[in-house]
Structure 1
């Protein structure tokens, strides 16, 4: 896994050049992260929590990386909220209960965390789904960010 320090360097080098992330001031806060986990039925992987706590959310080349919107009623605000997007994709049959949407591309790709296979560190693979086709995209959320920024 890419170290968080390496990832921060990559993010900062690419700010205003396709990477538009927030700052620690946009951290939704632990109570909101816990609300998301409760609504989604699982703990968020550590690298995803790190992203939320350090950047709050943002976009890579115009594609939103889903975050936690600290707005009541929680999980009902459309846009880039991880809970709204995950629950909506589950209702529509695009995701299963153990899958968490983290981003979607203009090319029809849906990226999700496969929480059915969590490693010893609590990390989950990021899967790219295009139509009925799925493939492992990254070993964890941190590598997903690194790969999206580098592409």
Structure 2
């Protein structure tokens, strides 16, 4: 297990995961969105799928069963935000603060090795602001509230 995997487990291990996303689910989501997820987020998807914990949730790829789940599906949430033109360009929905602010992870259209910034976006976003330099730094900051 590499350092990033261990770090993700140490940060998110207390939450309830829906189970790993398959490579096919990840490929389909990237294709539907026309984006390439950052390596750390792909690893999160492959390890957890999505996570719901005490005071936090991290959207991911959920099993897609017909019954309601506790996990937030990143693909359907991102597509909903796109329909309303309510997210930063080339980004995906990953979380909320439970009030007015949502968090979006910048993705690449060309390179699978690029880590993206996390943008904090709210009602008066004025283009949003950089909340964290990467998905893992977002988790460190967001979960330390």
Q: How would you bin the TM-score normalised by the shorter chain?
A: 0.7 to 0.9
Structure 2: 5+ residue runs without aligned partners?
A: none
2: CA distance between counterparts of 1:120 and 1:37? 11
Q: CA deviation at 1:56?
A: 1.8
More strand by share: 1
1:129 is aligned to 121
**Within-5 A mapping of 1:63-102:** 63-71=56-64, 80-102=72-94
Q: TM-score, normalised by structure 2?
A: 0.80
Structure 1: 5+ residue runs without aligned partners?
A: none
1: CA distance between counterparts of 2:110 and 2:16? 26
Runs of 4+ in 1 over 4 A off after TM superposition: 116-120
**Aligned CA distance change for structure 1 residues 94 and 46 (closer, same or farther; 3 Å):** same
Q: CA deviation at 1:72?
A: 7.6
Instruction: Check the 8 A contact 1:28/1:69 in 2, yes or no.
Output: yes
Instruction: Check the 8 A contact 2:118/2:134 in 1, yes or no.
Output: yes
2:45 is aligned to 52
Q: TM-score, normalised by structure 1?
A: 0.77
**Aligned CA distance change for structure 1 residues 60 and 138 (closer, same or farther; 3 Å):** farther
**Within-5 A mapping of 1:30-49:** 30-49=23-42
Aligned length: 137
The 3-state SS of whatever aligns with 1:101 is strand
The 3-state SS of whatever aligns with 1:6 is helix
Q: CA deviation at 1:119?
A: 8.2
Instruction: Check the 8 A contact 1:118/1:124 in 2, yes or no.
Output: no
1:6 is aligned to 7
